[in-house]
Amino acid sequence: MGIHKKKTESNFNICFIGHLAVDSIVRFKQKRKPSLGGSVTFGSLSLKKYEKTVNIGIISNLGTLNFDKSLLKRFDDKFIDLRGVKSLDVANTNFLLEYSDHSRTLTLKSRSPNLKFEDIPDFYLSSPPQIIVLAPLCNEISYDYVSKIVETFPNAYIGIDLQGFIRKIDEHGKVLYIREESIIENIKKIIRLIGDKLILKGSEIEMKILSNLEDPNKIMDWCKIFENNAIYIMTMGEAGSMIMKCGEDVIKIPAYKPKRVVDETGPGDVYLAIFLYELINSDKSWKKIEEIGYIASATASFLVEKKGPEGFETKNKVMKRVRNKKYIL
Question: Helix %, strand %, coil % for the chain, to 5?
Answer: 35, 25, 40
Average pLDDT over residues 99-123: 90
Rounded distance between C-alpha atoms, residue 206 and residue 60, angstroms = 23
Place 10 in a pLDDT band, splitting at 50, 70 and 90.
Answer: low
Please give the DSSP secondary-structure letter assigned to residue 327: B
Q: Count the Cβ atoms, other than its own, within 10 Å of residue 124.
A: 19
Task: Quick: pLDDT tens for 64-75.
Answer: 999 988 999 999
Judged by DSSP in three states, 322 sits in helix
User: What is the signed CA dihedral for 12, 133, 241, 306, rounded to 10 degrees?
Assistant: 80
Residue 191's pLDDT band, with cuts at 50, 70 and 90, is very high
pLDDT cut 90: percent of the chain above it? 82
pLDDT tens-digit map of 30-47: 777 888 899 999 999 999
What is the residue-averaged pLDDT of the chain?
92
pLDDT band at 4 (very low <50, low <70, confident <90, very high): very low
For residue 1, is pLDDT > 50?
no
**DSSP assignment letter at 101:** T
5 has a pLDDT exceeding 50: no
Q: What average pLDDT score do residues 271-281 get? A: 97
* Mean pLDDT, rounded, for 261-269: 86
The predicted structure's pLDDT at residue 264: 81
Work out the average pLDDT over 53-79.
Answer: 93
Question: Full-prediction pTM beyond 0.85?
Answer: yes
Confidence class of residue 323 from pLDDT cuts 50, 70 and 90? very high
Which one, of 186, 204, 34, 174, lies nearest residue 105 by Cα?
174
pLDDT in tens, 293-315: 999 999 999 999 988 788 899 99
What are the pLDDT digits (tens) for 157-177?
Answer: 999 999 999 999 999 999 998
Nearest Cα to 121, choosing from 17, 276, 199?
17
Query: What does the pLDDT average to over 86-93?
Result: 96
Give me the residues paired with residue 261 across strands: none
What domains can you pick out in the chain, each with its CATH number?
14-324 (3.40.1190.20)
